[in-house]
Structure 1
Amino acid sequence: MSFSSSGSHRIFLFFNLYTQASSRYPPLSALSRDSLWDIAIEQDRTSKQEKGDSQTCNEDSAVFIVGSKNSGKTSMILRFLDRDEAPKPTVALEYTFGRRAKGHNIAKDVGHIWELGGGTWLAKLMDIPINPDTIMHTTLIIVLDLSLPNELWFTLESLLTAAKSRIETVIAEMKNTMPNMRDKLREKAWERVGSDHPDKNMIDPFLIPLVIVGSKFDIFQDFDPEKRKVICKTLRFYAHVHGASIQFFSTKIDQLVKKTQVAISHHLFGTNTSKTLHVEPNKPLIVPFGLDSIQQIGNPPIADQDIGRVHAKTPLELWKIAYTGYFPQEKTNNPAMVEDPAKDPQFAEPAIDALRAQKDDELERYRRLSERRAKEAGQMI
């Protein structure tokens, strides 16, 4: 398996920008004429013309990676691209791409990779990677920090709710041009899960491919066995009822790095992926689409005599009550947790920084002048 990344664009999109992004990707006019973005698209377009195959969609495939803050999302991307460099903090929304050589041919498939930083509080930026042009070819990957079980359910639920809302908005936007979009997405979702699955009545498959990645398995494997069991069973149930797959990951375990590379490659380039099920709590979970079952997962971590006392409208709500009772959740969507990127030297822009410094000086002089005038006015009274 060979992948390459000849460059990347660290695109920082804040709330005053995302509403302008109605097109598939950031406007090319915002980038230089000879940017890597332009080159990648032009090479991809040429490759498609040379093949003469209008049915090939690999060039349009994308993965959108979201998840817990500091969970290792960037590290996972770098390892997938075989880039040996230290990960840098993701400020908001970033884009890069990978290219896969096809045998001895010069032409390469291009896979688009989006990463959302900030944990849950920047979820509104999902509007950019998930839009009418990309919805049929985008996989959502939610990365959860297994070392922080007290944030796990909140992060998973918050991000999945935001993604569902965005998908519903896109479907509504496409009502006039593609009124059957929901049906198409559901049909593909059931193809992933298996329309004849014995738990069909319990499953409401997510409309785009959903992969749940549990990161920092190297820390998680040292947890108390009972804690590992509760977390693994809960994630399996959550993934199962949403028609998702699960993959545990650690940058410190080469075998898990390779398995995650295979999984990402499958969604970007349509390569083969493993259909092997691993569900032992003392080993890394690997649960492909549709291969788990309610019977194998078992009951939620609530004592049998207490189940009747719990008021839950759905099985998922019952599992939430059980899990959060075991691991009380701490909210993680505080914007104050994100540092000011303008003060980070890795994002230095001399011209912009000089202009900002000038404006900061003007603001400070105005503040001092206002304080002095207010003081003088107070003395005159």
Structure 2
Amino acid sequence: IDTLWDIAKAEVEKKENLEGNGDGVEVWEKSLLFMGNKNGVTYTVSSLDRDEIPKPTLALEYTFGRRAKGHNRPKDIAHFWELGGGTSLLDLICIPITNDNIRTFAIILVLDLSKPNELWPTMDSLLQVTRNHVDKIITKLGKTNPKVATEIKQRTWNNMPKDHPDHELIDPFPIPLVIIGSKYDIFREFDSEMRKIMCKTLRFVSHYYGASLVVSVFDRYLITNMNFFSFFNLFSKSISVDQNKPLFIPAGLDSLNQIGPPPASDSDIGKLHAHTPVDLWKKIYEKTFPPKSTRDLKDVSDPAQDTQYAEYEVDAMRTQKNQVHYSSSNKGWVQYLGVPFQQYNTKLA
């Protein structure tokens, strides 16, 4: 049985074919998932190419953009997904990333630099869950379509030159990944040593996972660049690694030698008992910026109470339902106290 998404996808493809007069016009598509700190990804999907104040993202939001390249030429379509709530809605990551779009999917991880104590746990949780889901899809594809699975695995190394000295030391993310550090205007006011540790850590993580790194003022200019990237999969080959300036390091252009060792003494490193390079950098980073618990990073607000989604008729019905449920659930306590239930219910109403 076709799902609602299958029907909608079929309708879009049918419409595109009709608009192209059926003359072999292909539809080129790219999908992007924006995710990051709680309340930190609200400037992407909701305000993309629109002159409006962005609204906070709740749960998982979707929009798309189309671009025609000329008469009777293939149309470009970009699908934009945005995960709100930081690490509190990790289960929703599996919705936008599917067997059908895995070959054209990319992840945009937006990290709030003004909250260094939340940076590592947020980054680690989101990347682990995403990677586990993608790995499951690739494993499943390996059984039904090994050629596609092999292509995806090989593509992860496309941005890494074959003669790169770190070729055997890194573990690229299974799909394209871009890490963005936002709130740069606040970050640049930090102590220079704090900036150094954060920048080196982000450079190491990005390089280890074969990701591109952008640490800059997250404004509409950057959004425009990301929109351009989503359509054409292009990234400038320029590079900026000065921690006193915005960072811009495309995937494959950094190295462990340029990044340098973790910012700690040899004696401190020996006491950390890390099992992997990532674990070592994590321990050193968290020594300077003790992490918040994952419980503190979760969004416990009730989306049903958000005013931007207010609907009078629906809200009135919901209030009535909640009231009846509350009255019924307290019937036993009212009777225990010797108060007639009907009288209590009337007063409550």
Amino acid at match of 1:237: F
Q: Which residue of 1 aligns with 2:283?
A: 321
Task: Describe the SS at the equivalent of 2:261.
Answer: coil
Q: CA deviation at 1:203?
A: 1.2
Q: Which residue of 1 aligns with 2:336?
A: 374
Q: Residues 48 and 210 from structure 1, CA distance in 2 versus in 1: closer, same or farther, beyond 3 angstroms?
A: farther
Deviations 1:126-146 (A, max 9, x none): 111111111111101111000
2: CA distance between counterparts of 1:120 and 1:202?
A: 28
Deviations 1:44-92 (A, max 9, x none): 44456645144x5x22x10001100122x2213355x321211112110
Q: Which residue of 2 aligns with 1:287?
A: 249
Is residue 113–residue 187 contact of structure 2 (8 Å, CA) maintained in 1? yes
Does residue 65 (structure 1) correspond to residue 65 (structure 2)? The answer is no
1: CA distance between counterparts of 2:314 and 2:223?
A: 39
1:1-381 to structure 2, matched below 5 A, reads: 26=5, 28=7, 43-47=15-19, 50=22, 52-54=24-26, 58-59=28-29, 61-71=30-40, 73-78=41-46, 81-103=48-70, 108-251=75-218, 257-266=220-229, 268-270=230-232, 272-334=234-296, 337-376=299-338
Q: Residues 213 and 361 from structure 1, CA distance in 2 versus in 1: closer, same or farther, beyond 3 angstroms?
A: same
Is residue 193–residue 243 contact of structure 1 (8 Å, CA) maintained in 2? yes
Q: CA deviation at 1:213?
A: 0.7
Q: Report the RMSD for the aligned CA atoms in angstroms.
A: 2.7
Amino acid at match of 1:102: K
2: CA distance between counterparts of 1:68 and 1:41?
A: 34
2: CA distance between counterparts of 1:38 and 1:84?
A: 31
TM score, norm. by length of structure 2? 0.87
Residue range with higher mean Cα deviation, 222-231 or 331-340: 331-340
Deviations 1:305-354 (A, max 9, x none): 43333311222111111111111111344586332121122112344323
Amino acid at match of 2:249: V
Residue range with higher mean Cα deviation, 40-49 or 268-277: 40-49
Using the aligned pairs only, state the percent identity: 43
Task: Describe the SS at the equivalent of 1:140.
Answer: strand
Count of equivalent residues: 339
Q: Residues 186 and 27 from structure 1, CA distance in 2 versus in 1: closer, same or farther, beyond 3 angstroms?
A: closer
Amino acid at match of 2:238: T
2: CA distance between counterparts of 1:211 and 1:278?
A: 15
1: CA distance between counterparts of 2:297 and 2:122?
A: 14
Is residue 86–residue 297 contact of structure 2 (8 Å, CA) maintained in 1? no
Amino acid at match of 2:212: S
TM score, norm. by length of structure 1? 0.80
Q: Which residue of 1 aligns with 2:343?
A: none
2: CA distance between counterparts of 1:291 and 1:230?
A: 20
2: CA distance between counterparts of 1:353 and 1:133?
A: 37
Give unpaired runs (5+ residues) of structure 2.
340-349
2: CA distance between counterparts of 1:47 and 1:286?
A: 39
Is residue 39–residue 57 contact of structure 2 (8 Å, CA) maintained in 1? no
Q: Residues 336 and 48 from structure 1, CA distance in 2 versus in 1: closer, same or farther, beyond 3 angstroms?
A: same
Q: Residues 175 and 269 from structure 1, CA distance in 2 versus in 1: closer, same or farther, beyond 3 angstroms?
A: same
Runs of 4+ in 1 over 4 A off after TM superposition: 37-43, 47-51, 103-108, 332-336
